[in-house]
Amino acid sequence: MSELNNIVLKILENGKGILAADESTGTMTKRLETVKVPSTKENRLLFRETLFSASGMTNCIGGVILYDETIKQETSKKSMVPELISNMGSLPGIKVDTGAKALAGSDNEKITEGLDGLRERLKEYYKLGAKFTKWRGVYNISKTCPSKISIHANAHALARYSSLVQECNMVPIVEPEVLMEGDHSASECYEKTSEVIQKCFDELILHKVDLKGIILKPNMILAGNKHKDKISNEEVAKLTLKCLKSSVPSEVPGIAFLSGGQSEIEATENLNLINKYNNTDFIMSYSYGRALQQSALKFWSKDIKDIEGTQKVFNHRAKMNTLAAQAKWSKELEIG
């Protein structure tokens, strides 16, 4: 087994998932503003350190995706953030793209940037302790989207990124996110997500990326948030599995879903059903941001010094998702 494959298996072992704490300063400021907490460097660090030092990290979180600001910060205990994460039994990771910008030659579509100077930045992040990385491509669904140019350009960028990351002995998370914003049906989401993922793997193979040393971070198959007919959780699980079985090469060891705007309970329930019906060799886990942090953030905002109370809320959410990654979750457990 390769070193990269070992890292993947360590991150996703025993139902563990990934905490996506890689919100940019702008995104984190918006999150804090919604709960009326000033977005200072100190407050951003305090919230993240509160989560990173929670006991749920050791039992449930195999990896944490950080943002450039956070990976370079020192904790209140005078250790660096990656060291804190490692001491909790988790692996530190880093978001390395520089964001989605308007895609030239296409209306209302985006291309993710950040390849320029990436090799040098990766070396720096590796020295800081990062074991894996993340790059997100985003795709809209509409009558004309995602276009061939969007599908091709983002797949090409994800492959070039992955190749550079593996060259630096880190695991790339490949995140092609087909957005749930829109009035598209679940079947349209299925069709477009399949096309997007297949193109990503065409490019990854072309760029000689070791598929045993990556984690795929896809969206689940859902109807658009403005579509009149929602599908059942069972249908979400079955369509998602059907899509991945037909689109993802068997060498890929692990799939960690993004929550993509689902509520905390919805993201957990759908993950649980996916694992209940999973008859593949893929590890199916989670890489959630809001769906792991939202309740903890709301609780924390009432008293940012209540570390223990905030950690209790976070620990519960992490435990629920780890149970879901093992098909052991039920609604009754949420009451606890």
Query: Is residue 12 pLDDT above 80, yes or no?
Result: yes
CA distance 306 to 303: 6
Determine contact, residues 72/94, Cβ cutoff 8 Å.
no
Q: How many CA atoms lie within 13 A of 318 on its CB side?
A: 26
Contact in structure between 5 and 213 (CB atoms under 8 Å): yes
Q: Which contiguous run of DSSP H or E holds residue 176?
A: strand 171-178
Per-residue pLDDT reduced to its tens digit, 174-196: 999 999 999 999 999 999 999 99
For the chain, domain boundaries:
3-335
Region 35-51: what's the mean pLDDT?
Answer: 95
Span of 51-55, 64-68, 225-229, 304-308 with lowest mean pLDDT: 225-229
Residue type, 52: F
Active-site residue, from 95, 110, 134, 217: 217
pLDDT, tens only, 74-87: 999 999 999 999 99
pLDDT confidence of residue 229:
85
Cα-based distances in Å from 308 to 53, 157, 312 = 10, 41, 6
- Give 336's pLDDT tier (boundaries 50, 70, 90): low
Mean pLDDT in residue range 154-176 = 98
User: In the predicted model, what is the mean pLDDT of residues 27-32?
Assistant: 94
Instruction: Return the pLDDT at 1.
Output: 60
Confidence band of 230 (pLDDT split at 50, 70, 90): confident
Residue 235 and residue 220: Cα distance in Å, rounded? 11
Average pLDDT of the residues in 123-129? 98
Rg (Cα) of the chain, in Å, rounded? 19
Tell me, yes or no, if the pTM score tops 0.85.
Answer: yes
**217 catalytic per annotation:** yes
How far apart CA 24 and CA 20 sit, in angstroms, is 11
> In the predicted model, is pLDDT for residue 172 greater than 60?
yes
Which of 80, 20, 17, 12 lies closest to 45 in space, CA to CA?
80
Question: Rounded to whole angstroms, what are the CA distances from 23 to 30, 44, 99, 243, 332?
Answer: 10, 10, 11, 28, 31
Whether the predicted pLDDT of 169 surpasses 80:
yes
Q: Among the listed ranges 37-41, 49-53, 93-97, 316-320, which one has the minimum average pLDDT value? A: 37-41
Topology classification of domain 3-335? TIM Barrel (3.20.20)
Each residue's pLDDT tens digit, 249-275: 999 999 999 999 899 999 999 999 999
Tell me the C-alpha distance between 76 and 46, whole Å: 8
In the chain, pLDDT over 90 holds for what percent of residues?
96
